[in-house]
Amino acid sequence: MDKKQTFSFWYVLAALLVLLTLQDLLGRQHTETLAYSEFKQALAAGKLDDVLLRDGMAVGRLDVNGLEGVLAPERIAVLRQKGEAHRFATVLVDDPDLVAQLDAAKVRYAGVAESRWLALLFSWVMPVLFFLAVWFFVMKRLSGGLHGGMLEIGKSKARVYMEKETGVSFKDVAGIDEAKEELMEVVEFLQNPDRYRRLGGKIPKGVLIVGAPGTGKTLLAKAVAGEAGVPFLSLSGSEFVEMFVGVGAARVRDLFEQAAAKAPCIVFIDELDALGKARGVSALGGGNDEREQTLNQLLVQMDGFDTNRGVIILAATNRPEILDPALLRAGRFDRHVSIDRPDLNGRRQILEVHARNVTLAPQVDLASIAARTPGFAGADLANLVNEATLRAARHGKDAVDMHDFEEALDRIVAGLEKKNRVMNPTERRFIAYHEAGHAMVAEHREHADRVAKVSIIPRGIAALGYTQQSPTEDRYLLRRSELLDRLDVLLGGRVAEELVFGDVSTGAENDLQRATDIARRMVTHYGMSEALGLATYDTQPRPMFLDGPAPPELRTCSERTAEAIDAEVRQLLDESRARVSATLAAHRPALDALAVLLLEKEVVDRAMLDSLLRSEPASALADAA
Ligand code: ADP
Ligand code: ZN
């Protein structure tokens, strides 16, 4: 409807212009333009009549015949060619005697009142209309044309996707059982709010789901709504942040109004990081006002509504570290559920879920496909099944066979390799030994936290694998012996690489940074170095300006002391490395066994580690470092 109106407006404008131009042209065709001198000569010769004076112009009739001798012959020839009407026009000059001469020549003459409306149209109305049209067009573009024009700014209705029934249940979500269990509770809340309310319990407001893209965050949120049988309102964080200050905030308010009307329901905010970035970190100052306002509004709304009405907010992000801390505070997104990429077993289950409605050939072995897809997220696996099915269909097969899967796998792996998301076998071996190294050292250090889980599933962007240690108790003080053990565990990864491959990788960067940091603090802050004694040395950068470049380190020690600190840090690290080397060499069989187990299972938990260590040859245990 809008479109038509704009069109007709342009048509009218174009038609008007064409009309005016035509009129002008037609008029001109039969009109001869005279120089003022020629006009005066013709007037004096009595060859003019019916003169109209207006707008600094004179127009009238001209008798070309009989002008011989008055005008130059070639001018007369030109005038004759022009046509029969013999009309003339001339631009007047400042000539006070003109009227007297017109009188003298007995010419019929008249003045015409200037017609103002055309001038008005061109000098005022048209430009205004033109700018209005341009403005309208630009605004439409900015507000995302398709979703609704200017009038709909601030109404998030066009963008909140509401599903009465998501049709997704927990059985569609596979391989991420821990996350599922945590969200089970949310379903409970929604289904039996009274049970919790009766005892005065507080229902959680917000749950943040953290995980790499495609790991099933949206799917899980939908499954929660599906299981609880409540509507699912979803909206993406990036859609909140608009060009106009205040619009995002209005959207947030609107969203919460809608949610209150639909309660009980689930509100799902995808890409929370797009609007929840930490405030005031912009180096240019000022930051993004619009985003801040939107974020503030979200915080206000979350604080304002009470969960007893049965609205639970789920949000997803793959970059929790950049979120504004205010979002994570109690009463907001204070519950976190993290989803890792699935392990071998998880991948098999996900493949099974997606192959449910696919006719598979009998020889298809999903477990072996799972084994060949380390690093794949749920979405990649769904894609794999789909590609294989499409391939089988293209070839007119009755069932999807292993060959289809292999072809699809090759294609998808090639795509993912470009995005750096799958590892080649050598890399996996490096990572497996690296993590096994951390774990083995942790197991053989009296003061190190016990290993809870070792994994070589890439997590996030930086960490390719991880060894999770669970502290046995809360710690307020750390003893020197404990810090040394921490150093050892951190160096375990790098030393294992050295020991096994005789080569090292870049994978240890973060470990080395953290180890250096600990060693440096031991020397400069904790007085734990014999050589430097009990003095503390401040080498921490101090903020000099609120923003701007980091200031140079502020040293409160002499050049010589600084050198001594460096040497001492270096020595702590070297000694640690020697200790770790000895430990890993002494437990080499167990290290190998753990690495092999990791390559096979990808995730090794406490129980598996225990049984592996139990079967470790006694001789190795005897000469433990
Ligand atoms: P995210 O929101 O984390 O980026 P999605 O939830 O949109 O990922 O996942 C995209 C698709 O991948 C889902 O619709 C589903 O088909 C598939 N998928 C992802 N994870 C799983 C899983 N754990 N189980 C089953 N399917 C999954
Ligand atoms: Zn490491």
pLDDT tens column, 374-384: 778 899 999 99
Point out the ligand nearest to the CA of residue 439. 2
- Per the DSSP assignment, residues forming a β-bridge with 88 are 32, 60
pLDDT at 66 over 60: yes
Sign of CA dihedral 571, 577, 579, 581: negative
End-to-end CA distance of the chain, in Å?
Answer: 82
Q: 64 falls in which pLDDT band (50, 70, 90)?
A: confident
Q: 158 falls in which pLDDT band (50, 70, 90)?
A: very low
Residue 100 in tokens: 């007297």
Residue whose CA lies nearest to ligand 1 atom number 5: 216
Cα 144 to averaged position of ligand 1 atoms, centre (Å):
28
Highest mean pLDDT among 16-30, 153-167, 266-280, 511-525: 511-525
552 three-state secondary structure:
coil
Residue 157 in tokens: 């209705």
Give the pLDDT mean for 451-457: 85
Q: What is the pLDDT of residue 618?
A: 55
Percentage of residues in the chain having pLDDT higher than 70: 81
- List phi, psi (to 5°) of 265: -160, 170
Cα 381 to averaged position of ligand 1 atoms, centre (Å):
9
Q: 30 falls in which pLDDT band (50, 70, 90)?
A: low
Residue whose CA lies nearest to ligand 1 atom number 9: 216
pLDDT at 26 over 70: no
- 369 within 8 A of 339, measured Cβ to Cβ: no
Point out the ligand nearest to the CA of residue 351. 1
Q: What is the pLDDT of residue 477?
A: 80
Question: Going along 104-167, which residue ranges are E strands?
Answer: 109-111, 161-163
Q: What is the pLDDT of residue 332?
A: 86
Give the pLDDT mean for 148-166: 53
Cβ-based burial of 96 (10 A; exposed 0-12, middle 13-18, buried ≥19): exposed
Neighbours of 103 (CB within 10 A): 10
d(CA 361, CA 175): 23
Residue whose CA lies nearest to ligand 1 atom number 14: 219
d(CA 112, CA 562): 97
Task: List all residues whose CB is within 6 A of at least one atom of ligand 1.
Answer: 173-176, 211, 213-219, 316, 350, 353, 378-379, 382
Q: Residue 556, CB half-sphere, CA atoms under 13 Å: how many?
A: 10
Q: Which amino acid is at 126?
A: M
Chain centroid to Cα 303, Å, comes to: 26
d(CA 620, CA 589): 8
Point out the ligand nearest to the CA of residue 468. 2
Atom of ligand 1 nearest to the CA of 318: 3
Q: What is the pLDDT of residue 584?
A: 95
- List phi, psi (to 5°) of 209: -100, 120
Alpha-carbon radius of gyration of the chain: 41
d(CA 107, CA 48): 7
- Per the DSSP assignment, residues forming a β-bridge with 58 are 53, 90
Q: What is the pLDDT of residues 172-197, one digit of tens each?
A: 898 888 888 888 888 888 888 777 77
Residue whose tokens read 């066009």: 158
Q: Give 295 or 150, the one with higher predicted confidence.
A: 295
Sign of CA dihedral 319, 432, 215, 183: negative
Point out the ligand nearest to the CA of residue 341. 1
d(CA 176, CA 153): 39
For residue 359, give every residue at least 6 positions away whose Cβ sits within 8 Å of its Cβ, in sequence order, or none.
Answer: 398, 399, 400
Chain centroid to Cα 609, Å, comes to: 40
Q: Is 87 left (phi over 0), alpha (psi -120 to 50) or beta?
A: beta
- 310 within 8 A of 266, measured Cβ to Cβ: no
pLDDT at 163 over 90: no
Residue 132 in tokens: 């209005």
pLDDT at 467 over 80: no
Cα 275 to averaged position of ligand 1 atoms, centre (Å):
23
Q: What is the pLDDT of residue 6?
A: 52
Q: Average model confidence (pLDDT) for the chain?
A: 80
Catalytic residues: 435
Cα 219 to averaged position of ligand 1 atoms, centre (Å):
5
Q: Give 288 or 589, the one with higher predicted confidence.
A: 589
- Per the DSSP assignment, residues forming a β-bridge with 235 are 269
Helix, strand and coil content of the chain, in percent to the nearest 5, comes to 55, 15, 30
Residue whose CA lies nearest to ligand 1 atom number 12: 379
Cα 378 to averaged position of ligand 1 atoms, centre (Å):
5
d(CA 269, CA 235): 5
Point out the ligand nearest to the CA of residue 176. 1
Give the pLDDT mean for 251-265: 84
Q: What is the pLDDT of residue 188?
A: 85
Which 8-state DSSP code applies to residue 463? B
d(CA 422, CA 427): 10
Cα 111 to averaged position of ligand 2 atoms, centre (Å):
97
Assign 3-class secondary structure to 227-262.
HHCCCEEEEEHHHHCCCCCCHHHHHHHHHHHHHHHH
Atom of ligand 1 nearest to the CA of 213: 4
Q: What is the pLDDT of residue 242?
A: 59
Q: 253 falls in which pLDDT band (50, 70, 90)?
A: confident
d(CA 255, CA 154): 10
Q: Is the pTM of this model over 0.75?
A: no
d(CA 178, CA 215): 13
Q: 278 falls in which pLDDT band (50, 70, 90)?
A: low
Long-range contacts of 172-175, Cβ-Cβ distance < 8 Å, separation of 24 or more: 172/219, 172/223, 172/353, 173/216, 173/219, 173/220, 173/223, 173/353, 174/342, 174/346, 174/349, 174/350, 174/352, 174/353, 174/378, 175/342, 175/343, 175/345, 175/346, 175/347, 175/348, 175/349, 175/350, 175/378
DSSP β-ladder status, 232-236 and 265-270 = parallel
H/E stretch holding 354 reads helix 344-355
Q: What is the pLDDT of residues 215-240, one digit of tens each?
A: 999 999 999 988 888 888 888 877 77
Chain centroid to Cα 104, Å, comes to: 85
Neighbours of 530 (CB within 10 A): 7
Lowest mean pLDDT among 257-266, 481-490, 509-518: 257-266
173 three-state secondary structure:
coil
Ligand 1, pocket-test mutation among 181, 209, 219, most atoms within 8 A of CB: 219
Q: What is the pLDDT of residue 154?
A: 45
pLDDT at 49 over 50: yes
- 303 within 8 A of 252, measured Cβ to Cβ: no
d(CA 254, CA 271): 19
Q: What is the pLDDT of residues 67-98, one digit of tens each?
A: 777 778 887 777 777 665 577 888 888 888 88
pLDDT at 503 over 80: yes
Cα 172 to averaged position of ligand 1 atoms, centre (Å):
9
Atom of ligand 1 nearest to the CA of 220: 6
Dmax over CA atoms of the chain, in Å, equals: 138
pLDDT at 435 over 90: yes
Cα 333 to averaged position of ligand 1 atoms, centre (Å):
22
d(CA 331, CA 129): 52
Q: Which amino acid is at 556?
A: T
Neighbours of 598 (CB within 10 A): 26
Atom of ligand 1 nearest to the CA of 172: 25
